[in-house]
Structure 1
Amino acid sequence: MSNQSMKSQFLGSLRSKQTGIRVLSVVLFVSVIAFVLYHGTKTPVTLIANGETSKLYTHATTVDELLTAQNIDITNYDKVSPSLSTKIDSGMSIEWEQAKEIVISVDGNQSKVWTTEKVVKNILEEANIEVTEQDLVSQSLDTEVGADNKIDIQKAFQLTLVDGKKERQVWSTSTTVANFLKQQEIQLGESDRVDKNLEDVITPNDKIAVVRVEKVTDVVEESVDFPIERKNDSSLLKGKEKVVTEGKKGKVERTYNIVKENGKVVSKKVASEKIIEQPKTKVLSVGTKVVTAKVSRSSEPNSGKEFYVEATAYTPHCTGCSGISAAGLNLRANPDMKVIAVDPRIIPLGTKVWVEGYGNAVAADTGGAIKGNKIDVLVPTKSEAYNWGRKKVRLKVLK
């Protein structure tokens, strides 16, 4: 090949390469211009998604288009600000917070809510669930809900607590009696008891009673009754008694084991006793003498102490009469007996006497109005008593 030909080929190849470079440069320039023009027309915005902030440039015209372009699926429970239909403006700040499902249990009854709230108190308010200061909530109201997205609530109820003698109304949640007492800061003594099993679960309107048991030892000095010894005495009328020797109480020191429940003594037992002073026996003479009275029409005796008395008459059935004489005679069973009522200081009971107009008799009765030299003679009927009337008669005490 000649040199001229080779030169021509080289120059042709060079011109071809230069043309390609110029074309490539034009394409590149156009692309850069198009890129600049494309991105230069995007609107700058700030997106805060679940607390994370990022700067974006977008051709989206609404908030909805922007979030869709970011592959964010919006639910009805999510929070978007401003609203999805809002037009995009340069420098706009858009906030999206995704809702979470929260499980709320109230006394074991579960419900589910979707919310963007994080604080327990706000979640419950949004769910229209009221809690009181007595209710038991699994988390503090002012803290954020836990990672398990669960809130457990035990509603408080009223019941009656009786501690010894003190009774009051208190609030509690469903728990055992033992835990309830611990919540109420009730300390049980060694002997104290509760009217329910400690393992029982309390329910509304329950009544929990704590019985305070106190065991004490008491030492006291007490008197001891004296014994009584009775001796028969034939000189005394039957049914009468006379003190021969006065008795005297003794003294004993007793130790008692006492159990009190709520301050009231429920058990008192003698643990030991010691005699300090022996009692002195009281001796009584018991009369055995039986008085009899017989109907007598005998004439006036020749001997005997004689004096005048004022005499009235009474019957076995007189008002206020028992029918039994002071000496123990049954007057109603024997209305014809010759008996007079006397003042024992003047005529001792059991004394045999003769009464003018009445005959032989025995002093076997007394009367409230019979004082001094007065007597009351026994007659069978009221008519005889009226006929006797009141008169002064002679009386002889017989030996």
Structure 2
Amino acid sequence: MKKMLILASLAAIMAIGSPIAEAETTRETTPFADVTGHWAEKDIQKLYIAEVIGGSEEFRPDEQITRAELLTLFVKAKKLQAGTPGSSPFADVHSDDWLSPYAQTAYRLGIIDGEWSEGKLYLHPDKPVQREEMVSMLIRAMGDSGKVNQFPWTSTMQTLQSYPDGGSVEKAYQRPFAFALQNRIVNPYQDGKLQPDHRITRAEAATYVAMHLLKQDDAQHAATGLTFSKKLTVQTTAFTYPEDKAEALSYLELPLRVGIVAVDPEVIPLGSHLYIEGYGYAVAADIGSAVKQDRVDLFFGSRVEALQHGIKDGVTVYILN
């Protein structure tokens, strides 16, 4: 097993970022003056009604979306609770910044990884998001990274080669992109090309979120407010990795960090987003020879923390997606 911001503008925060108080009591129509007649108007309206985006005079649908804005959309659309204020895994996201809780949750769930440089982890939150990165983030946010891991490389190559620019998709994004094409999560543009380096607009992002991430009404709700599809009672154990975590990868090739857990894929599908009592948000991204049936192995950042956890029985796990 392999073990591996200048901030967005105030207008961006108003529309996608931190929550704001709403004066209106109904959300039947959007307040955005610049989306009327736009091709993405209906999807933007869906996100507004679902309180995924806040109110402001403009949505700026044709502007490029940033990494910070996109991960915040994903977290809100899935009705996830933002992380703990005062804690940030990224060197370029200050702990008291509005983005920090959202980035923390997205990081724990494996939606984003960040980039290591000189021993520090960076998000680069103001970086525009290219289409191939958006597809990868979307697949992870949907909880389908386990399915991508099982997607054959031969099928990946065959799928991408059928498009004029399929060969330009970066290797790290090839399987997610091919999987998304095969499952009609994304489609080629009107010119028949994939345009993997195309910078995604806010309207495009809103459409993908509305189509694939808005929670369904038939989901179950826990007393804590969590929305989940299944609840399990398990035994939890603990593991850690003392070496360079920038190089340590899980079975799904996500860098090891708090939030990565090992599961029995016959019980909890790989890629699933979880909420684990006493541990928090997690992603089922690893396996182990001793991790069978109702056991879940939790990653901790140090040996001391792993030993403190030990073995716990009767732990509640919510499968979120």
- TM-score for the superposition, normalised by structure 1: 0.26
Higher relative contact order (CA 8 A, sep 6+): 2
Structure number with higher helix proportion: 2
- TM-score for the superposition, normalised by structure 2: 0.32
